[in-house]
Amino acid sequence: MSVFSGMSRPMKAAGVALVGVAIIAAVIGGISALSGGDGSNEAGPSGTATQPGTSGGTSQPPTSPSSPPPSSTSTNPSPTPPSPTTPPPGQPTSGQPGQPGGDQQAGNKWVTVRVFNNSLIKDLAERAAADFRGSGWTVNEVGNYSQGTIPVTTAFYRPGTDEEAAAKQLAQEFGIKAEPRFPGIAGASPGVIIIVTKEYESGHKGS
C-alpha cells in the first residue's frame, strides 16, 4: 500500500514535491562532501579564494626589490703641471733671450781684463781696476799706455771672441765705450783691454 494512499490529490502532489527536493538536496550534499577534501579551493571570508600563506583578501603583487643606487665613478683630478724650478740662493738666474741675463753676465765675467792708464792722473788705472774687481770682473794686469792718446775710456776686444760680449757688458756697467781692437794693440795677449783716460776720474765711472 502506497504512502500516498488515502491522501487527497493535492496532498499527494505536495508529498511528491517534497520527496524530490529531499533527493536533490542529498545529491548536492554528496557532491559537496566529495569535493570538500581540497582545502586550497575553500572560500575565504569575502567569498574569494585565498592563496596559501596569505591572510585572505585580495593578494598584493610582490614588491620589486629596490634598485641599487648607481655606483659613483670617481674622476681623477687633472695632473698639475709642475711648477718652474727656482734656483737655490746664490745661483744666478737665466736671462731672457736677447738680454744679458744673470747667468750670461756671470759667464762673461770669466774673461780676463787688463787696465791701462792713458792720463797724467796718478794711479787712475789702479782705481779703475778696483772698481771692475768690485763688480766681479777678473783684472790680471794694471799698467800705463803711452803709445798714443785715446780720446775716452774704452774697452777693446777682438771681434768674434768672448771678449766682445764681455767688453760690451763691462762698458754698459761702467758707462764707457766698447770698440774692436785697433792695430796698435791687435796682437796683444787675449783678454779685454781697457784704456782709461782723465774723464773716468771726472765721474764717468760705472753705475
Q: Does the residue 58 lie in any domain? A: no
Q: Dump pLDDT digits (tens) for 35-74.
A: 555 544 443 444 444 444 444 444 454 454 455 555 555 5
Which CATH number does the domain housing residue 132 bear? Answer: 3.30.70.2390
- pTM score, two decimals? 0.50
Q: Does the residue 53 lie in any domain? A: no
User: CB within 8 A of 142, min separation 6: which ones?
Assistant: 114, 115, 116, 125, 126, 129
Q: What percent of the chain has pLDDT over 90?
A: 44
| 87: confidence class by pLDDT, cuts 50, 70, 90 | very low
Q: Does the residue 65 lie in any domain? A: no
Q: Does the residue 207 lie in any domain? A: no
| 22: confidence class by pLDDT, cuts 50, 70, 90 | confident
113 with 197, same domain: the answer is yes
Instruction: Tally the domains of the chain.
Output: 2
Domain coverage including residue 144: 108-201
Of the candidate ranges 67-71, 141-145, 193-197, the one whose mean pLDDT is the lowest: 67-71
Average of pLDDT values for 15-30? 72
Q: Does the residue 143 lie in any domain? A: yes
Q: Does the residue 99 lie in any domain? A: no
Of the candidate ranges 28-32, 63-67, 120-124, 148-152, the one whose mean pLDDT is the lowest: 63-67
Q: Does the residue 14 lie in any domain? A: yes
Q: Does the residue 170 lie in any domain? A: yes
